[in-house]
Chains A and B, each alone.
Chain A
Amino acid sequence: GAGVSQSPSNKVTEKGKDVELRCDPISGHTALYWYRQSLGQGLEFLIYFQGNSAPDKSGLPSDRFSAERTGGSVSTLTIQRTQQEDSAVYLCASSREGPASYEQYFGPGTRLTVT
């Protein structure tokens, strides 16, 4: 079956511009996560959506970062006024609800380069 998909696969943007990254989770998965992978910080949790509950935003590094999940499916991560330190690979993952939810399925990531 289809896995987690992310778009675009690569994004180059100028410092100060806004960017939107998209994640399509596996159909039927109620939990959706965003992580960031960078050389300096490794793999970091950003935000977590579970069903209709309020998202866990505890990992967002600044108020320039936001995310939404529409209709319990597709999610968009938005970075406003991008900075060079935002350059990283942004990974999305999804999982089922319940005991099987311990397994997160990751997408291929979006590589963001801020010039």
Chain B
Amino acid sequence: AQSVTQLGSHVSVSEGALVLLRCNYSSSVPPYLFWYVQYPNQGLQLLLKYTSAATLVKGINGFEAEFKKSETSFHLTKPSAHMSDAAEYFCAVSPRGDKLTFGTGTRLAVRP
């Protein structure tokens, strides 16, 4: 069985500050890991994915995440927050790259 824990249901940063959203996973097999973003009243959009290639994964909109097996983590970062980054972010795990198990989400607020 697999699960995802996202620490912090709400994160607030200033515009231009570092964004760090935390994700820890548990999986009985080497997992596929994903970050999705959901803007208000919209569907989910894939930000980036880890599929056992490079451990540092770059995604859209300047986001990146690093897979750390020893820490069972896949934290999402962005060097400089923009107002348009305000959204809800979901980490997800899948043992085979198909059906996803999601975390509870982190709502990111960006202060001017």
Interface set of A (CB-CB < 8 Å, partner B)? 4, 31, 33, 35, 42-45, 48, 50, 56, 59, 91, 93, 99, 101-109
Contacts and interface: CB of A to CB of B under 8 A. Distances in A.
A50 B98 CA distance: 9
A95 to B, nearest CB: 8
A104 B100 CA distance: 9
Interface of B is mostly: strand
B102 A109 contact: no
B98 A31 contact: yes
Most chain B beta-carbon contacts within 10 A, residue among A43, A103, A106, A109: A43
B90 interface: yes
Contact of A108 (B36, B42, B51, B97): B42
Interface residues of B, number: 22
A102 B49 contact: yes
Given A45-B99, A45-B100, A106-B43, 14 more contacts: A33-B100, A42-B103, A43-B92, A43-B100, A56-B99, A93-B44, A99-B51, A102-B51, A102-B94, A103-B46, A104-B46, A104-B100, A106-B44, A106-B45
Contacts of A107: 43
Contacts of A101: 97-98
Contacts of A104: 46, 100
A43 B102 contact: yes
Contacts of B98: 31, 33, 48, 50, 56, 101
A23 to B, nearest CB: 12
B81 to A, nearest CB: 24
A59 B43 contact: no
Interface in B52-103: 90, 92, 94, 97-103
B38 to A, nearest CB: 9
Contacts of B94: 102
Contact of A48 (B32, B36, B99): B99
Contact of A109 (B34, B43, B51): B43
A30 to B, nearest CB: 11
A105 B51 CA distance: 17
19 contacts: A31-B98, A33-B100, A43-B102, A43-B105, A44-B102, A45-B100, A59-B99, A91-B43, A101-B97, A102-B32, A102-B49, A102-B51, A102-B94, A104-B100, A106-B36, A106-B43, A107-B43, A108-B42, A109-B43
